[in-house]
Structure 1
């Protein structure tokens, strides 16, 4: 388990993480989303022990994570911009990792090299961004991490490799109880595989909940009217119009769905239907609720 206790991280006068408290249970896939500059990358680097907290602490499996070799050996972290030395290849990185990680799995390494179409003896810095990410993924998964932290990992990956990555994550979470945290602006990718979502804004926690629970609080409804309606037709209702074409509307509403539908049906629409909300739509609403983008 990961316990974030009163965590604060500053850079000069900028507070990147502000007194955050959160628990991340084992064997779960967490999506980490938030506004630009919300502290997502800083949080991942602090969880992985790269940054030392300025206040509070990160506790992993009951131990402080910073400068803790035992804990770091259980973690794998892939940064938004992975760093490789000029002469790094997958083959010589594997030699290094075999010495560092007690949980290094040689059989898994060979298997991963077969699943990702990448030359293991070529210099990684000469590869494309997507291929560099694949190299990082091979090394990370071969260590059999208990905790896997990934920052914007889907950026630069083609659809086939994204599918492969999702399969690997699900396999390790299901079979080995791995905990995975993925920071991403691509909420559709997060929505595909994440059990839980952590939302951040200005270094503070906005939400930490199941993705399905978060989406169930926000309802997308389409409705149409037989005649022209007043421009303020929904003025007495807590709904937001997200699209309108003539007499056809799609609105977002928060609250009890039965009460919402009762009020909307009182407007005598010719057609009305509830649609599933996406995580992206819910994210926009939650961020607007804390004043972002207004």
Structure 2
């Protein structure tokens, strides 16, 4: 669906994207995560055709998106900072979008009115609260029936009930229409519940991208206790990311297969050993810890 190849973008001498390469499969929910300034919003604006790369290529279904109305008519974008015409209401924007998106569904607009009952469709959007503005944005975007929906901090400002409502609608479109969703968010716990693929950005590049299942299977948290308070020398071939100790419990974050790691540590004859799954937030922290990110000594 989306292919980004070696994209570079510079703003006033600052290299925001530094040879970024990534790929998003059709019908997937792809979570884009990274620290502030990693380039998340910048690459989203390239994928939606707002920015033109200095070099490299970006295609959606094999076609370039920049200055390509045919591709853009299949893409809906909800940015972090929403913008609408100053006096426009949700109903006004519905009429505007209807002229831009050939697949705009008037019947769905009426149906989704029940999903967002608190939004006054005749009230100027700029006078609505931040949460109401986000609800209006989702209402309109979903009615466009896009093949690709790009979201930047999409549920920021929404209450927990509305967050669940929005994600339910999105996942329904993915399941029924094969919609592709590319979402950037700092709420990693929420992404963990909905994403099937994840890409981690740092300094304008993608550090790694893979399915969430593969990502979680490749990094293991081991809690281990030995007869003596001190931990014996570990096997040199362990790909150790982090070590902490609380009392007699040693916590090791190790990259690799859980079965292989347990087998190697069992040779040290621990009196207690347990493998625990890592959350996406923990994976994010430890992967970026290897990039000198300022979280090396955080203990989870």
1:134 equivalent in structure 2? 135
What is the DSSP-based 3-state SS (H/G/I as helix, E as strand, rest coil) of the residue aligned with 1:15? strand
How far apart are residue 257 of structure 1 and its match? Answer: 2.4
What is the DSSP-based 3-state SS (H/G/I as helix, E as strand, rest coil) of the residue aligned with 1:59? strand
RMSD, aligned CA: 2.0
Q: Is 1:209 the equivalent of 2:227?
A: no
1:292 equivalent in structure 2? 293
What is the DSSP-based 3-state SS (H/G/I as helix, E as strand, rest coil) of the residue aligned with 1:20? strand
Post-superposition Cα deviations, 1:43-86, rounded to whole Å, max 9, x if no partner, equal: 00110011111112211122210011111100001111111232
1:58 equivalent in structure 2? 58
1:96 equivalent in structure 2? 96
**Inter-partner Cα distance in structure 2 for 1:231 and 1:2:** 47
**Inter-partner Cα distance in structure 2 for 1:233 and 1:123:** 66
How far apart are residue 242 of structure 1 and its match? Answer: 6.1
Unaligned runs of 5+ in 1: none
2:272 equivalent in structure 1? 271
Matches within 5 A, 1:1-294: 1-116=1-116, 117-225=118-226, 229-230=229-230, 238-239=239-240, 244-293=245-294
Is the contact made by 2:222 and 2:252 (CA closer than 8 Å) also made in structure 1? yes
Q: 1:70/1:234 Cα in 2 relative to 1: closer, same or farther (>3 Å)? A: same
Is the contact made by 2:33 and 2:200 (CA closer than 8 Å) also made in structure 1? yes
**Inter-partner Cα distance in structure 2 for 1:152 and 1:247:** 41
Q: 1:8/1:58 Cα in 2 relative to 1: closer, same or farther (>3 Å)? A: same
How far apart are residue 291 of structure 1 and its match? Answer: 2.5
Query: Which is worse superposed, 68-77 or 55-64?
Result: 55-64
Is the contact made by 1:19 and 1:56 (CA closer than 8 Å) also made in structure 2? yes
Is the contact made by 1:241 and 1:249 (CA closer than 8 Å) also made in structure 2? no
How far apart are residue 268 of structure 1 and its match? Answer: 3.4
How far apart are residue 11 of structure 1 and its match? Answer: 0.8
TM-score, with normalisation over the residues of structure 2?
Answer: 0.91
Is the contact made by 2:199 and 2:210 (CA closer than 8 Å) also made in structure 1? yes
**Inter-partner Cα distance in structure 2 for 1:258 and 1:281:** 20
What is the DSSP-based 3-state SS (H/G/I as helix, E as strand, rest coil) of the residue aligned with 1:102? coil
What is the DSSP-based 3-state SS (H/G/I as helix, E as strand, rest coil) of the residue aligned with 2:44? helix
**Inter-partner Cα distance in structure 2 for 1:273 and 1:174:** 36
Q: How many residues align?
A: 293
How far apart are residue 251 of structure 1 and its match? Answer: 2.6
Query: Which is worse superposed, 250-259 or 168-177?
Result: 250-259
Is the contact made by 2:242 and 2:286 (CA closer than 8 Å) also made in structure 1? no
**Inter-partner Cα distance in structure 2 for 1:6 and 1:239:** 30
What is the DSSP-based 3-state SS (H/G/I as helix, E as strand, rest coil) of the residue aligned with 2:30? strand
Unaligned runs of 5+ in 2: none
**Inter-partner Cα distance in structure 2 for 1:109 and 1:59:** 30
